[in-house]
Chains A and B, each alone.
Chain A
Amino acid sequence: MIKLQLPISESAIRELKMGDEVAISGLMVTARDAAHKYIHENWPDWLDPIMENSMIYHCGPVVKKHEDGSWSFVAAGPTTSIREEPYEAAVMERYKVRAVIGKGGMGETTLAGLSKSGGVYLHAIGGLAASLAKSVIKVHDVYMLEELGVPEAFWHIEVKDFPAVVTMDSHGGSLHKSIKAKSDEVAKKLIFG
């Protein structure tokens, strides 16, 4: 298990290899479909200090608002990442984002982007919402809650020992590609004999 502390440098991220198990601590931000669309249309500067050398978590949490106005995460597993394929490489490069955390992996554009700008794709376990919410120790802030709603807002969170696996690295390695190549072969045999 490799411990990663945020913020993290490009060189530290480039040391990671496909298959590495990591535990992440520090500040990161959630962003999913509507958030990526918003970024792509506006490229706002206010996200720079939040995203630089940090990570984006593809997550739409179940949250709880406390009487003092503070928030906590009740359930917070990853959502499917491939929907952000049209945006992610450009977002990571513009904001110097060092990793995205999600599930299911991403495509060729993102894989190429990881090599170019220095990033990795981290796979969290889908449906592990109760456990992963425990790794979110504090909700620092929430942005655009009114406009985007709870699942789609930018939640600025602090995590401790958040578990994930590197499934796409900055050297062109993708576990998703290699598993798919194998399953394609089996499927071909089953279908065409």
Chain B
Amino acid sequence: MFQYDEKALKDQLLELIRLASTDLPKDVVESIQAAQQNEDEGSAARNVFGMILKNIELARTESTPICQDTGTNIYLVYIPEGVSMRKLTALIHEATSEAVERSYLRPNAVDSITGKNSGNNIGEGQPFIHFEEWDNDYIEFKLMLKGGGCENVSTQYKLPDVGLGAGRDMDGVYKVIVDAVNAAEGLGCAPGILGIGIGGDRTTSHLTAKTQLFRKMTDTNPNSDLSEMELKLLADLNKLGVGPMGFGGNTTILGVKMGAMHRLPASFFVSISYMCWAYRRHSMILKSSGEVNYD
């Protein structure tokens, strides 16, 4: 039976939140650095990337949030058999509340009926925590902070889409994604990273899109059709010229990550989860020895 020290784990989760909010992952920073080099000398786009990189460094050294919108806190938690999900949820809530007190997180949970802010970033469905049991003898917590600006430009299509001439095939999938990124302009804090969910129902399609965003920037999709489509979309979407923050430039999208699910014969959904450049995600592994590793 997997056991852990509750007090220690609460502090370790607090550190995971601090990292997620203040320390942009290395693969993302490298991707932004490469994008900067790809913009013309003296251009607005290159200048914007310079400010973005400076901000990333400042947030890390001063341990303050990269972006004031500390977003929806999305947790994927993988547990060995017998670990209580209710206890882990309570610890995540405790760490969340303390993270607000320490200004790592903004109180971001607003009652949709009364308009009242809960004050501690906890409310119905916030943070979002998804558990899965696995065979490993350790717990893994994956955390992503996804801001409202990019969530608002995220969208879902159902194929066929007559207006776009998008049929029920991969060519149709391609067309609606181009349409979505063009419609997003700079509003989602471009350059964005796209998580794409193909198939499923309305809910699982979006969930697939979001979980794709936990992949590393540099990985390769194991499905060769999707891998090819990811590269094609990345190249073509950067022809749109939206540029960082919509100021124009060579970089509109930093990465495309696609996943597919089986669908009903009647349904063909394509979900596009747009993530801003402040692509905040970290993970933590808790071993039975009590040792933790952050990534």
Would you give the 0/1 interface string for B174-198, flagging 1 where the beta carbon is closer than 8 Å to chain A? 0100110010011101000000000
A63-B103 in contact given A125-B245, A179-B247 (Cβ < 8 Å)? yes
Q: A75-B65, A104-B149, A127-B55 are in contact. Are A183 and B241 (CB under 8 A)?
A: yes
Q: Quick check: which of A4-12, A88-96, A114-122, A146-154 contacts chain B, the rest being far away?
A: A146-154
Question: Are the C-beta atoms of B64 and A75 separated by less than 8 Å?
Answer: yes
Flag whether A99 is at the interface (Cβ < 8 A). Answer: no
Q: Are B189 and A183 in contact (CB under 8 A)?
A: no
Question: Nearest-CB distance from B182 to chain A (Å)?
Answer: 4
Is there contact, CB below 8 Å, between B48 and A125? yes
Interface residues of B in 33-54 (CB under 8 A from A): 44, 48, 51-52, 54
Task: Tell whether A180 pairs with B103 under 8 Å between CB atoms, given A79-B149, A103-B245, A151-B108.
Answer: no
Query: Does any Cβ of A come within 8 Å of B141's Cβ?
Result: no
Residues in A whose Cβ lies below 8 Å from that of B147: 127
Q: Which residue of A lies closest to B175 (CB)?
A: A191
Residues on A with C-beta less than 8 A from B262 are none
- Name B's interface SS: loop
Q: Would you call B278 and A191 a contact (CB within 8 A)?
A: no
Question: Measured between alpha carbons, how far is A74 from B240 in the docked complex, in Å?
Answer: 35
Interface contacts (Cβ under 8 Å), in number, total: 162
Tell me, in angstroms, the Cα distance from A133 to B239 when the chains sit together. 33
Interface size on A, residues (CB 8 A): 47
Given contacts A129-B59, A130-B55, contact A179 B242 (CB under 8 A): yes
Q: Does A176 lie at the interface of the complex (its beta carbon under 8 Å from any beta carbon of B)? A: yes
Residues of chain B within 8 A (CB-CB) of A148 are 117
User: Is residue B107 within 8 Å, beta carbon to beta carbon, of the partner chain?
Assistant: yes
| Structural contact, A80 and B55, CB atoms closer than 8 A | no
A26 CB-CB contact with B under 8 Å: no
Is A192's CB within 8 Å of the partner chain B? yes
In the bound complex, how far is the Cα of B115 from the Cα of A138, in angstroms? Answer: 28
Q: Report the separation of the CA atoms of residues A127 and B188 in the bound assembly, to the nearest whole angstrom.
A: 10
Q: What is the bound-complex CA distance between A60 and B55, given in angstroms?
A: 18
Q: Is the CB of B178 within 8 A of A191?
A: yes
Which interface class (under 10, 10 to 19, 20 to 34, 35 or more) fits B?
Answer: 35 or more
Q: How far is the CA of A96 from the CA of B236 in the complex (A)?
A: 44
A127 touches B240 (CB 8 A): no
Which residues of A are found within 8 Å of B90, using beta-carbon distances? none
Tell me if B261 counts as interface (CB < 8 A to partner A).
Answer: no
Cβ of B58: which chain A residues have Cβ within 8 Å of it?
130-131, 134
From A74, A125, A180, A191, B65 is in contact (CB under 8 Å) with A74
Q: Are B187 and A104 in contact (CB under 8 A)?
A: yes
A129 adjacent to B66 (CB under 8 Å):
yes
Q: Which residues from chain A contact B115 at a C-beta distance below 8 Å? A: 34
Q: Do residues B62 and A187 form an inter-chain contact, with CB atoms below 8 A?
A: no
Interface contact B241-A125, CB-CB below 8 Å: no
B154 at interface (Cβ–Cβ under 8 A)? no
CA distance A191 to B186 in the complex (A): 20
Query: In the assembly, what is the distance between CA of A183 and CA of B252, in Å?
Result: 10
Query: Could you list 28 A-B pairs, sorted by A, with CB under 8 Å?
Result: A34-B115, A59-B68, A61-B68, A62-B65, A75-B65, A75-B67, A77-B67, A80-B152, A103-B186, A103-B189, A104-B187, A125-B245, A127-B52, A127-B55, A127-B278, A128-B52, A130-B55, A130-B59, A130-B65, A133-B64, A165-B44, A175-B248, A176-B185, A179-B185, A183-B182, A183-B240, A184-B182, A187-B179
Binding site for A on B (CB under 8 A): 44, 48, 51-52, 54-55, 58-59, 62, 64-70, 103, 105-108, 110, 115-117, 119, 147-149, 152, 164-166, 175, 178-179, 182, 185-187, 189, 236, 239-243, 245-248, 276-278
